[in-house]
Amino acid sequence: MTTEIIRHGLPVGHNSEKFTERLNKHLLKGIDRLEESTAVIDSTFSAAIMNVRARCVIDPQAAAVETWEAAVNAMQLGSALFAVTAKNEGTIECRINGKVRTLQATGPLSTARAGTWLNAFWLAVICREPERMTQLCEVPLERLRAPEGQYDEYIYHWVDTLQTYWLRRPGLVEKLTAALQMSDPAVARIAPRDLLQDVLYPPINLFYHFVRRDVEGFSPALEEALKLHRAYWTLTEERQKDIDGAIALGPLAIACWAHDGHLPIEVESDYLPQHLLQHDWLGEFPTWPR
């Protein structure tokens, strides 16, 4: 039996549509400016993720092609961010918003760290872009390390786990075990406890059930992840209005893997836009190279 997890109330209506329209126009201008300078490509990527979430507020099932375009643009920007920061000089060719663009290498950026990498990787998974997933997984873990005190150590074990899984490197069980253990609130002390328990840890637990092909356990773990996501984003009035809670990006990505791997998914929710989960827009327009 399928369980539905109702998404918490988010402002929907004429004002939301106007906001999304303005946000998208601002983003597209920012994308066009990248060929002049990539100095703010990290903030452009952040704006693109916000744009995806805003689209999902007004289009919760991702039934409109504009929502798919927003997801693809964000995915391409995430990939481009880690491509341009991998080199200190020269240029990189990246397709963004339907056009192959020549972008200047930036060298390392302080924002191209593990948390940003996870967002870029989740978007590549959701958009079913195996080449980009491989490129992201080939980013050395040391490049993703932030100054001490910015992230708990578990996040590096988690990134290492995902890279190991996708590239089929040895040691997956040990690395996943370390990620699970290090994300325990008794060990992780930097991330706020509710953020850790409700948003950051559930994708790790969900991946554990996915990688074991746990038919009986995957859907309950997904249901729990979405309930925790909702609990976090409804704890305060301020959070409830924040479009960051519109979709559960990590659980959505892992659910996409499960869907493609024919693992039964007995959970439905606007936190998991149906047409993204089921890759219904795949092939609508070219998304490669890079």
Summarised one tens digit per residue, pLDDT across range 125-164 is 999 999 999 999 999 999 999 999 899 999 999 999 999 9
Give the model confidence (pLDDT) of 5-20 as tens digits.
Answer: 999 999 887 789 999 9
Contact present, 6 and 229 (Cβ < 8 Å):
no
101 three-state secondary structure: strand
Percent of the chain with pLDDT over 90: 93
Examine the pLDDT at 68 and tell me if it is beyond 90.
Answer: yes
Mean pLDDT along residues 222-234: 98
Mean pLDDT along residues 111-132: 97
Examine the pLDDT at 188 and tell me if it is beyond 90.
Answer: yes
Q: Is residue 229 part of a domain?
A: yes
Mean pLDDT along residues 108-133: 97
| Structure confidence at residue 290 as a pLDDT band (50, 70, 90) | low
CA distance 170 to 163: 11
Structural domain of residue 259, as residue ranges?
10-277
Examine the pLDDT at 204 and tell me if it is beyond 60.
Answer: yes
Q: Is residue 4 part of a domain?
A: no
Residue 240's alpha-carbon distances to 60, 227, 233, 248, 286, in angstroms, are 16, 14, 5, 14, 36
Q: Which two tokens stand for residue 117?
A: 């990498």
Q: Is residue 282 part of a domain?
A: no
pLDDT at 288: 72
Number of residues in the chain: 290
Taking the complete model, does pTM exceed 0.95, yes or no? Answer: yes
Q: Is residue 125 part of a domain?
A: yes
Overall domain count for the chain? 1
Among 38-42, 74-78, 283-287, which stretch is predicted with the lowest mean pLDDT? 283-287
4 three-state secondary structure: strand
Mean pLDDT along residues 72-93: 97
CA distance 139 to 1: 41
pLDDT at 14: 72
CA distance 37 to 51: 21
Mean pLDDT of the chain: 96
Report the DSSP pairing between strands 91-96 and 99-104.
antiparallel
Q: Is residue 52 part of a domain?
A: yes
pLDDT at 289: 65
Mean pLDDT along residues 107-114: 95
pLDDT at 210: 98
Give the position of tokens 């995430």.
78
CA distance 268 to 104: 42
pLDDT at 11: 80
Q: Is residue 129 part of a domain?
A: yes
Q: Is residue 1 part of a domain?
A: no
Biggest CA-to-CA distance, the chain: 55
Among 6-15, 57-66, 239-248, 274-283, which stretch is predicted with the lowest mean pLDDT? 6-15
Mean pLDDT along residues 116-131: 98
CA distance 271 to 113: 25
Taking alpha carbons only, the member of 174, 230, 228 closest to residue 196 is 228
CA distance 81 to 107: 10
